[in-house]
Amino acid sequence: MSSSSPTKKRIRITEVEEDDSSFSPHIPRSKEDCSSHPFIQDQLQALQMAKNLLNFVDTTAQPTVSAFLDRWEKCLSSLQHLQAKYQELDHNQSIIQVQLKRAHEKNVNLFHALTKKDETVNQLRNQLEREKEEHRNEMYKLSNSAIQQDKTITILEEQLYQEEQINSQMREDINNIQAEFNKKRDKLVEEMKESKARELHLESSLKDRDSIIDSLEQQLQFKSSLEQEISTLQETICEKDSTIQSLQQEVITEKDNISAAVQQLKDFRANKASEPNQHQCLVMVPIKKPVNQYFTRPIGHISVTHLLEEHQAQQRKLVEVTRCLERSDAQLSQSRAENAELRQQISNPTIDMNTRSEVSNEQRPKAKSTIDEEAWPKRVKALEEVNTEMRSYIDTQRSKYQVIRNDVELENNNLRREIWDLKTVIAKACL
C-alpha cells in the first residue's frame, strides 16, 4: 500500500464533513399539516366566503363565478398536492442526511482500522526483514563451514594419494629386494652344494697332505667369499630395518591423522550443539498453519559414537599391524642370530686332519634365509588393508558431508518458499 492513500482518504473524509455541515436539520411534517399553512388557510377561507356569496350574485353571472370558483379550488388542491410533495422530499432529504452521517462515521472507523492495519503491516515487514537477515547470515555460516569441510576432504585425499604412491614404491622396492635375495640365496645354495662336494672330496683324500692343504686353501678362499656375501646380506638387512622403521612411522602418522579427523568432527558437533536454535519463525499473520513443518531436522547431524567406534577399529587394526611388524622383526633377529652362528662356524673350522668325517648329508646344517618369506607378504597385505580402510573412511565422510550439504540446500529452499508465502499474505492484507 502506498503512503499517499491515507492522505487521500483524510481529504475525502474532510470534504464529506464540510458537505454535512451545510445541511440544516429539518423536522419532518405529516400530510395533515399541509392545509395548516397560513396562505392556504386564507385562500380556503376566501373560497368559502365566495361560495357563500354566490347566491347573492346575478343569475346570469353565476355560471361564470362558479367556474371561477371551481378553477380556484382546483388551484388550491394542486397547491396542497405540491406542498405535500415538497414535505415528502424534505423528509427524504433528512433521511439521506442521517444516512450520510452514518456513512461518515463508518468511513472514520474504517480509516482508523486501516491506519492500524498499516502499522501492523509495517511491523510485519520489519520483522520479515530482520528474519531474512538472520537466515542469510546463518546460510552464510553454513556455506563457509561446508567450504572448509570440502578443503579438509581435498587435503585428506591428497595425503591418501601420496601415501598410496609411497606404498606402491615401497612394494616395488620390496619386490626388487626379494628378487635379489632369491638370486643370492640360489647362488649360496649352489655354492654350498659345491662346498659339500669339495668336503666329500677332501674326506676321500685326507691321506694326501698336499691335496688336503690345497683343499683348505680353496676353503679359505670360499670363506672370504662367504664373508663378503654375509656383509652384503647384513647391509640388505639394515636397509630393510630402516624401511620397517619408516613404515612404522607412517603408521603412527596415519593414526595421528585419524585422531585429528575424529577430534575435528567432535569440535564440529560441539559447535553445532552450542549454537542457538534460530529456525523458528514467530510471524503474527492470520493464516492457516502449513502442513509441512520447516526446520524439524538438525543441521549437520553426525553420530560421534559411530565415529569413535570406527576410530577404535582403526586403532585395533594398527595394533595388529604393529604386532605383525614386531613378529617379522623377531624373525629377522632370529635369522641374524642363525647367520652369526653360521659365520662363526665358518670362521672357526674344527676339522680333524687325521680322522675322516662321517657326518651324513641329513645331519649337515641346512642353509636358512635371513628373512622370513611369509612375513613380507603379510606385512604388505596389512598395509594394503590399512590403506583401503583409510580410503573407505574418507569416502564415508565425504558422503556424510554431501548429505549435510543437501540438507542445507533443502532448508534454504524451504526458507525461500516460506518468505514468498509471507510476502503473498502481506500483499493480500494490504489490498
Q: Decide: 150 and 401 in contact? Cβ < 8 Å.
A: yes
**Predicted pLDDT at 355:** 42
28 or 119, which is more confident:
119
* Identity of residue 359: V
> Quick check: 357 pLDDT over 80?
no
> Quick check: 376 pLDDT over 70?
no
> Quick check: 126 pLDDT over 80?
yes
> Quick check: 194 pLDDT over 80?
yes
> Quick check: 132 pLDDT over 60?
yes
Provide the residue count of the chain: 431
Residue given cell 567432535 in the structure block: 266
Q: Nearest 10 degrees: CA dihedral of 91, 95, 101, 106?
A: 180
Across 58-62, 186-190, 227-231, 306-310, the highest mean pLDDT is recorded for: 186-190
Mean pLDDT of the chain: 69
**The dihedral sign for the CA sequence 406, 407, 412, 416:** positive
- Considering the entire predicted model, what is its pTM? 0.24
Q: What average pLDDT does the segment 215-234 reach?
A: 64
**Predicted pLDDT at 255:** 66
213 or 146, which is more confident:
146
Q: How far apart are CA 367 and CA 365, in angstroms?
A: 7
Cα-based angle 7, 13, 17 (whole degrees, multiple of 5): 145
159 or 278, which is more confident:
159
Quick one: pLDDT band at residue 90, thresholds 50, 70, 90?
confident
Q: How far apart are CA 331 and CA 372, in angstroms?
A: 7
Q: What average pLDDT does the segment 199-228 reach?
A: 64
Q: Nearest 10 degrees: CA dihedral of 385, 182, 328, 343?
A: -170
- 54-to-45, 59, 61, 249, 315 alpha-carbon distances in Å: 14, 9, 9, 151, 143
Nearest residue to 97 via CA among 9, 12, 26? 26
Rounded percentage of the chain residues whose pLDDT exceeds 90:
2
Q: How far apart are CA 275 and CA 295, in angstroms?
A: 14
Q: How far apart are CA 170 and CA 380, in angstroms?
A: 9
Across 264-268, 288-292, 389-393, 420-424, the highest mean pLDDT is recorded for: 420-424
Nearest residue to 319 via CA among 394, 396, 241, 248? 248
> Quick check: 24 pLDDT over 80?
no
Across 33-42, 310-319, 347-356, 406-415, the highest mean pLDDT is recorded for: 406-415
> Quick check: 78 pLDDT over 70?
yes
Q: Decide: 181 and 371 in contact? Cβ < 8 Å.
A: yes
> Quick check: 351 pLDDT over 50?
no
**The dihedral sign for the CA sequence 308, 310, 316, 319:** negative
Task: List, in order, residues 6 or more apart from 43 with CB less than 8 Å away.
Answer: 72, 76, 79
Q: What average pLDDT does the segment 399-410 reach?
A: 77
Cα-based angle 210, 212, 217 (whole degrees, multiple of 5): 95
**Predicted pLDDT at 19:** 43
Q: How far apart are CA 126 and CA 134, in angstroms?
A: 12
Cα-based angle 214, 217, 223 (whole degrees, multiple of 5): 145
Tell me which H or E stretch contains 146: helix 62-204
Q: How far apart are CA 45 and CA 65, in angstroms?
A: 17
Q: Decide: 234 and 332 in contact? Cβ < 8 Å.
A: no
- 342-to-234, 281, 339, 348, 353 alpha-carbon distances in Å: 13, 85, 5, 10, 21
Helix pair 62-204, 209-274: axis angle to 10 deg: 160
The alpha carbon of residue 331 and the mean position of all alpha carbons in its chain are separated, in whole angstroms, by 52
Q: What average pLDDT does the segment 48-72 reach?
A: 79
**Predicted pLDDT at 222:** 67
**Predicted pLDDT at 46:** 79
2 or 50, which is more confident:
50
Q: What average pLDDT does the segment 325-347 reach?
A: 61
> Quick check: 23 pLDDT over 50?
no
Q: How far apart are CA 367 and CA 266, in angstroms?
A: 56
Tell me which DSSP letter residue 370 carries: S
237 or 163, which is more confident:
163
160-190 pLDDT tens trace: 888 888 888 888 888 888 888 888 888 878 8
Q: Decide: 135 and 281 in contact? Cβ < 8 Å.
A: no
Spans of all domains in the chain? 5-123
